[in-house]
């Protein structure tokens, strides 16, 4: 993560960090030593990264288990579910034979209800491998499915425009 430090004589005590254009911007008093500032930056960086990317494979496993209980009565089982940085064009994928699910790590920054839709979508593939009527009925058990699809379509449109 690129870090930009901005010191100010007007700032007396507080040190603040925020994300600006993909960079961590640190606002600090001009009087603070470099060593003291480095220690603060390390702590702030960890906190910012957790806020931006708080989700991990354990999170996915817990969400999948909860969604399985709620929408599939706990009837599904899988061998693994994990984030993947190799999902460039897909939001998720399910290998029905191996019973493994991959979710694009790009979804970690989206609202939870959108990620939940993708998880339900991939869980439904454990029952129905295609995208036919039966599959759509399974996915539509998730009440925000249509809304999440719209959100994802709008996000893709903005992404394609470079916004």
Q: Where are the domains of the chain?
A: 3-52, 57-160
Structure tokens at 54: 């708080």
Weakest mean pLDDT among 23-27, 67-71, 137-141, 148-152? 23-27
CA distance linking residue 21 with residue 15, whole number of Å: 19
Q: Model-level pTM?
A: 0.68
Distance between terminal CA atoms of the chain? 21
| 58-117 tens-digit pLDDT | 889 999 999 999 999 999 999 999 998 888 789 999 999 999 999 998 888 788 899 999
Choose which CATH entry (3.30.70.660, 3.30.2010.10, 1.10.3720.10, 3.40.640.10) describes domain 57-160: 3.30.2010.10
Give the residue from 159, 160, 149 showing the smallest Cα distance to 114.
Answer: 149
């Amino acid at each position: 993560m690129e870090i930009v430090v901005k010191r100010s004589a007007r700032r007396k005590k507080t040190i603040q960090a925020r994300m600006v254009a993909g960079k961590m911007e640190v606002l600090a008093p001009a009087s603070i030593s470099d060593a003291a500032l480095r220690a603060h930056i390390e702590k702030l960086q960890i906190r910012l990264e957790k806020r931006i990317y708080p989700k991990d494979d354990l999170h996915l496993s817990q969400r999948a288990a909860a969604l399985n209980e709620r929408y599939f009565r706990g009837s599904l089982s899988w061998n693994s579910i994990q984030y993947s940085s190799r999902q460039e064009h897909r939001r998720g994928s399910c290998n029905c034979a191996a019973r493994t699910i991959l979710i694009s790590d790009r979804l970690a920054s989206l609202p939870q209800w959108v990620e939940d839709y993708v998880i339900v979508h991939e869980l439904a593939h454990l029952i129905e491998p295609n995208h036919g009527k039966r599959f759509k009925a399974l996915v539509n058990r998730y009440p925000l499915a249509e809304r999440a699809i719209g959100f994802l379509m709008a996000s893709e449109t903005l992404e394609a425009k470079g916004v």
